[in-house]
């Protein structure tokens, strides 16, 4: 009995030491995460603005005003359309590129990965300004190239001026920017697949497409799950690149997404309560989408 008492005492001491060591991190989370979160929830229920000296409680009026806003449907459509284009387009392209990199060999593959990853090192604001120059209707390199290959002038798109094209232009730019990052993740997933599985599939007479469909894709499921959730969260909260590329949302708000709208409401209209309510809605949309994706993809992982 006497021999066990010191160990119990030391366990209690170290448990207290552990709590004390974790306390600064816990306090930081409470002060810098939860306190602003609950404050913002409170402000979203008020008429807080530049003209209101004391915010007045108005309940869910801000949320009702957002839904009834004439631009709400268009901006939500823009956000959903951009998210679908980005998530589906980027992940599909990243998988295909990573498979091709594996096929070309290590040296050339490393070079291609480095080239693709380079845009990720640039600031999004810089990327936005670069692509604004590239998309310029009269002097942009893209339209000049289309003219050189013989595309008729009436078919040359006005990338950032045409309401039908502007969201696709944003999608192309962000995919170009982020492709290298997700290629690296998929490449790591591909390299973890045992070579023996491909050897067995060759013996069984499987062609390249069947190998990809029944060996590669199922074993890439964890990487796909991670990347789909990451790309969804990234595009839903993306502000700087869409804002700089479209110069604040484009013509008639056809390039305005939810984060850009929040910025405009807060810093242009000075309706702080409404902007915070918009941010709360954006957070809710992100959480719902992430939950749905995880439920579907994790269930698929279990099946495979």
Residue 232 lies in a domain: yes
Structure tokens, 117:
């990853």
CATH of the domain at 79: 1.10.3720.10
Domain containing 291: what range? 62-302
What confidence tier does 103 reach under pLDDT thresholds 50, 70, 90? confident
Are residues 30 and 174 located together in one domain of the fold?
no
Are residues 230 and 87 located together in one domain of the fold?
yes
Residue 51 lies in a domain: no
Residue 123 lies in a domain: yes
Residue 238 lies in a domain: yes
Question: For all residues of the chain together, what is the average pLDDT?
Answer: 89
In the chain, the number of structural domains is 2
Are residues 125 and 199 located together in one domain of the fold?
yes
pLDDT at 9: 66
Are residues 28 and 128 located together in one domain of the fold?
no
Residue 53 lies in a domain: no
pLDDT at 6: 54
Residue 54 lies in a domain: no
Residue 55 lies in a domain: no
pLDDT tens-digit series, residues 13-45: 777 888 888 899 999 999 998 999 899 999 999
Are residues 74 and 21 located together in one domain of the fold?
no
Residue 226 lies in a domain: yes
pLDDT at 250: 84
As beta bridge partners, residue 57 has 46
Q: Which residue has the tokens 């944003």?
A: 170
Give this prediction's pTM. Answer: 0.85
Are residues 138 and 109 located together in one domain of the fold?
yes
């Amino acid at each position: 009995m006497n021999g066990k008492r010191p160990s119990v005492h030391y366990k209690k001491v170290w448990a207290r030491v552990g709590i004390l060591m974790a306390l600064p991190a816990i306090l930081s989370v409470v002060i810098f995460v939860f306190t602003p979160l609950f404050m913002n929830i409170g402000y979203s229920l008020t008429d807080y603005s530049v003209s209101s000296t004391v915010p007045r409680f108005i309940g869910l009026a801000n949320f009702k005003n957002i839904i009834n806003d004439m631009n709400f449907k268009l901006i939500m459509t823009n956000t959903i359309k951009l998210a679908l284009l980005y998530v589906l387009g980027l992940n599909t392209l990243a998988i295909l590129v990573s498979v091709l990199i594996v096929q070309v060999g290590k040296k050339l593959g490393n070079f291609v990965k480095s080239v693709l990853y380079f845009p990720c090192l640039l600031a999004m604001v810089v990327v936005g300004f670069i692509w604004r120059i590239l998309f310029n209707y009269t002097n942009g390199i893209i339209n000049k190239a289309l003219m050189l290959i013989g595309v008729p002038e009436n078919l040359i798109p006005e990338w950032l001026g045409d309401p039908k094209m502007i969201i696709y232009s944003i999608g192309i730019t962000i995919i170009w920017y982020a492709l290298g990052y997700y290629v690296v993740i998929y490449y790591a997933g591909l390299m973890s697949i045992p070579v023996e599985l491909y050897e067995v599939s060759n013996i069984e007479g499987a062609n390249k497409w069947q190998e990809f469909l029944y060996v590669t894709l199922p074993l890439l499921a964890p990487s796909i799950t991670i990347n789909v959730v990451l790309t969804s969260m990234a595009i839903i909260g993306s502000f700087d690149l869409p804002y700089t590329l479209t110069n604040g949302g484009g013509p008639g708000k056809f390039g305005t997404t939810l984060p850009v709208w929040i910025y405009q409401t807060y810093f242009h209209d000075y309706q702080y309560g409404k902007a915070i309510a918009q941010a709360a809605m954006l957070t809710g949309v992100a959480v719902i989408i992430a939950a749905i994706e995880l439920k579907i993809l994790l269930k698929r992982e279990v099946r495979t």
